[in-house]
Structure 1
Amino acid sequence: MRHAGQFGRLGTTPPVPGRPTTFLTLLATLVFTALTWQVASDGPLLAPDERLGNAIRTSAIPAAPAEFFADLGNLQVALPVLAAALAYVTWRTRHWLPALTAILTMALVPALVGPLQSALSRPGPPPMSPETGFYPSGHAATAAVGYGLCALLLHQVFRRREAAYGCVVLNAAVGLGLVRQGYHWPVDVIGSWCLSAMLLLSFPLLLRPVRGR
C-alpha cells in the first residue's frame, strides 16, 4: 500500500497532476490562442460573437442580479475572499507554500491581462463604445483565478468537490452578468476563462492536497 506523502516529504497525494491536467492545459492554451488570433486579426468569429453578445444584452435576464454577479469580478471583492481562504488554509495546514503560490498566481492576472488588452485594443459593446481594450476580460479573469484558487485551496483541507462545482457555477454567472450588462463580449469572457485555466493548471503545487501537522 502506498501512503500519501505530506508537503516536503516523499510520497504522493491524489489527485496528482498528470495526463488529464496536461491535456486540459493544452486545450485551454489552444482555445485561448485561437480566440486571441481572431481578435487580433478581426476574424470571422467576431461577427457571431457580437450578435450573441447583443442578444444576451437585450434579453430578459434581470439586470439587478446580472450586475451583482458582474461585480464579483472586481478586485475589491475577489481579493478579500481569496485572502480569507489563504489565511484559513494556512492556519489549518501550517504550510505557507500553497498560499505563496496562490498569491503569485493571482499577481499574474493583471500582469498578463493588461498588456494583452492594450495590444489587442478590442472595442467594447455599444454601452462601452468607443473605448477599447476589452479582450481578455479582466473581471472574468479576476473571478476565475481568484475564486478558482479558493476552491483549490479549500479542497486541500476538506477533500470535497463542492467548492469546485460552486466555483464553476459562480464564474458562469459572473461571465453571463458581464455580457448581460454590456461590459464585455462573450469571446472576451471565454478567452479569460482559458487564460485562467492555464494559470491554475500550470502550478502543480495548487493541485496537491496537503495535511496539517
Structure 2
Amino acid sequence: MSETPRSRETVGDTSAGLPQRRTGHAFAHTPRRSDGRPPQTPRGPRQPDPGGRPGTIPPVPGRPATSPRLAAALCGLLFALVTWQVLVSGPLLAPDHAISRALVRTIPDSVTERLSDLGNVPVAVPVLALAMAYAALRGRRLAALAAGAAMLAVPALVVPLKEWTARPGPLEPWAAGYYPSGHTATAAVAYVGAALLVRPYVRRPWPVAVALVLTGATATGLVLRGWHWPLDVLASLLMCAPLLIGVDRVSRRSTRRSSG
C-alpha cells in the first residue's frame, strides 16, 4: 500500500495537531492595580539586630505576647502570698519544713557550701559590674544604670523583710532573719542582670542560660546545706523577677536607640 501525503503528515509530523500559542492582547496584557502599583510589592530586607542576626519575625496576629507588666504583677502577688504565709505560720510552712528535712545535708557540705558561695557579694556583684561597664562603653548607659539600680534595691528590700518576718533557720531555730534569702536575690540580680546587658552582643542565648544555672545552683546549695528553707529562696526569686523584668525592658529600649 502506497503512503499518501496525508498519512505522512499524520504520522511523521506529530506537532501539527498540537494547539499553537497565539500571541495577542490577552497574553500581552499585564494586570495592574487600580492605584497604579504593581500587583505585589516585594518586601524589603529585614534590618539586623545589634548582634548581626537577621531581624525577628513579627508575632502572629491573634496571639499577643505575655505582658511584662502582667508577669511582674503575678510574681509580686505570689511573693505577697508567701510572705503572708510566713508571717502567720500558714499551711504552706508544713510542706516547706518537710522538703527541707528531706533534703538537708543529703550532699556533702563541701559541695553545697561552694554552691552557696556563688551568691556572696564579692563573687556575684563584680560580674554585674563588669557587664555594666561594658554596656556603658558600648553606649547603653541607661541599661547599665537600670541593672545597678536593681542591685541596690536588693538590700533595700531584703533587710527590712528579714527584720519584719524574723523567721528562724532550718538548723538554727534560735536565730532569726532567714526570710527572704539574700544570697539568692544577689545571685539572681547579678547574674541575670549581667546576662541581659551582654545579650545583644552575642549570637546565642547562652548568657541567660548560664545566669539561670548559676542562680539555681546558689538556691539549691542554700537549701541542701540547711542555711535556708525552700520558701526563702522561692520568695527571693519572686521578689527579684519584677526587678529583672524592668532591667530587660530598659535594656531592649536602649538597644533599639543605640542601633538606630
Q: Matches of 2:114 and 2:168 in 1, distance apart?
A: 24
In structure 1, the residue matched to 2:124 is 78
C-alpha deviation, 1:22, in angstroms: 2.4
Question: How far apart, CA to CA, are the structure 1 residues paired with 2:145 and 2:240?
Answer: 18
Deviation at 1:114, TM superposition (A): 0.5
Quote the Cα distance in structure 1 between the aligned partners of 2:92 and 2:75. 18
**Structure 1 residue 28 and structure 2 residue 75: aligned?**
yes
More deviation, 161-170/179-188: 161-170
Residues 141 and 130 from structure 1, CA distance in 2 versus in 1: closer, same or farther, beyond 3 angstroms?
same
Among 93, 96, 109, the residue aligned to 1:63: 109
**Which residue is equivalent to 1:183?**
227
Do 1:141 and 1:193's aligned partners in 2 also have CA atoms closer than 8 Å?
A: yes
CA deviations on 1:8-43 (whole Å, 9 max, x unpaired) are xxxxx999xx73422321221121111111001110
Q: Distance in 2 between matches of 1:32 and 1:130?
A: 25
Alpha carbons 1:14, 1:209 under 8 Å: kept: no
For structure 2, list consecutive stretches of 5 or more residues without a partner in the other structure: 1-43, 51-55, 59-64
Given that residues 104 and 224 in structure 2 are in contact (C-alpha distance below 8 angstroms), is that contact kept between their aligned partners in structure 1?
Answer: yes
Are the counterparts in 2 of residues 109 and 141 from structure 1 also a CA contact under 8 Å?
yes
Q: Does 1:125 align with 2:160?
A: no
Is the CA contact (8 Å cut-off) linking 1:94 and 1:212 kept in structure 2? no
Assess, with a 3 A threshold, how the Cα gap between structure 1 residues 142 and 14 changes in structure 2: closer, same or farther. farther
CA distance in 2 between counterparts of 1:35 and 1:69 reads: 25
For the pair shown, the structure with the greater C-alpha radius of gyration is 2
Partner of 1:19 in structure 2? Answer: 66
Say which structure is richer in helix.
1
The 3-state SS of whatever aligns with 2:212 is helix
Please give the alpha-carbon distance, in whole angstroms, between the structure 1 residues aligned to 2:91 and 2:72. 25
CA RMSD of aligned residues (A): 2.5
- How far has the Cα of 1:209 moved from its partner? 5.8
Matching residue's letter, 1:44: P
TM-score normalised to the size of structure 1?
0.86
Structure 1 segment 59-208 matched on structure 2, within 5 A:
59=106, 61-91=107-137, 93-126=138-171, 128-158=172-202, 160-203=204-247, 204-208=249-253
Q: Matched residues in 2 for 1:100 and 1:94: separation?
A: 12
Once the two structures are superposed, residues 171-205 of structure 1 have per-residue CA deviations (whole angstroms, 9 ceiling, x without a partner) of 11110100111110000000000001011113420
Q: Aligned partners of 2:223, 2:134: CA distance in 1, in Å?
A: 33
After alignment, is 160-169 or 41-50 more displaced? 160-169
Counterpart contact for 2:105–2:225, Cα < 8 Å: no
Gaps of 5+ in 1: 7-12
Q: Percent identity?
A: 42
1:46 aligns to 2:93 (yes or no):
yes
Deviation of 1:212 (Å): 6.5
Take 2:105 and 2:85, find their aligned partners in 1: how far apart are those partners? 25
1:50 aligned partner, one-letter code: H
* Count of matched residue positions in the alignment of Structure 1 and Structure 2: 203
